[in-house]
Amino acid sequence: MKVLAILPPFLPVDAIRQTVQQILPDIEVKTDADFEPLDAQVLIVTTFTRVDSALLDRVRGLKMIQVASTGYDNVLLEEVKKRGIAVCNIPTANKETVAEHVIALVLSIMKDIRFMDSEIRAGRWPMLSGTQELKGKIFGIIGMGAIGKKLAERLVPFEVELMYYDPRRLSPEEEETLGVEFSSLDELLKLSDAVSIHVPLTPETRAMISSDKLGLMKDRAILINTSRGEIVDEAALIEAAKKKSIRAGIDVFYREPPDFNSEMFSMDQFLFTPHIAGVSMESQQRFITETVANVLRYVQGLEPQFRVA
């Protein structure tokens, strides 16, 4: 079975090719989607490759698409469903990395790390601070999938009160194990001191954190978005930062790289990272391993895991 992989050129493509070919010898690796039509039954992509009609037309005989990522909004699902192509993602490889990144952003904001660092670099020695403890705060998690659950586990030692919202409620046993309390989205936003978003980008979640939803949040509450930029109304978030002193840790943007002229980049309440919450040396190795393992399952005639379409 022929396998085609399209990888972004900034990855160590040669090293990945050598590793993968030992397990999938009949694999072709390309670094862009501009190629002559070819035959392949399996396509491996990252989120940096848009899987649209034009790409699908160039891969003849395609039966399965494996996205080497948790997110898969780069795949035009309506089109692949129409063509009867299976789509799988890897939802578990970066759950540890994202959970740690969320906690790092929250603590950096609450402890005002950026301000203190800049003051010392400027030769000043601040004597007072308005920093806060995470202990005793209410922490809301929007989306209780693999990453949301891992975040809940990692937050237990901080002695926070954990709330969550998800369209599919966990079983009572899971809620008790994780120490989380289910609530509506509105109630979660009203009560939480910190909120972290962990939902996929879908028509239902696009702009779900709107002006009205941000208006429910406490003054100086913290919003963390490591999911997708389009889930939060960016203009509304800027207004909420002005009017309610909402603070935010932002890892994802509407457009990437973003418009650096945006007003939010001049606002002290915001802390930014470059869509890297799920990237660590450990998570990247897991993505490679789990991607190859899932493709190998399909090649061997088994049902692949983590099918999303």
Q: Report DSSP state, residue 181.
A: E
Q: What is the CA radius of gyration of the chain?
A: 21
261 phi, psi to nearest 5 deg: -85, -5
Catalytic residue among 96, 247, 275, 290: 275
Please spell the DSSP secondary structure of 37-58, one letter per residue: -EE-SEEEE-TTS-B-HHHHHH
Catalytic residue among 96, 101, 198, 228: 228
Distance CA 67, CA 44 (A): 6
Residues 154/99, Cβ–Cβ less than 8 Å:
yes
> What's the angle, vertex CA 91, arms to CA 174 and CA 232, rounded to 5?
90
Decide: helix, strand or coil at residue 296: helix
Catalytic site includes residue 228: yes
Catalytic site includes residue 101: no
Catalytic site includes residue 256: yes
Catalytic residue among 133, 176, 256, 282: 256
Helical H runs in 1-141?
A: 13-21, 53-58, 77-82, 95-110, 113-121
Give the active site residues: 228, 256, 275
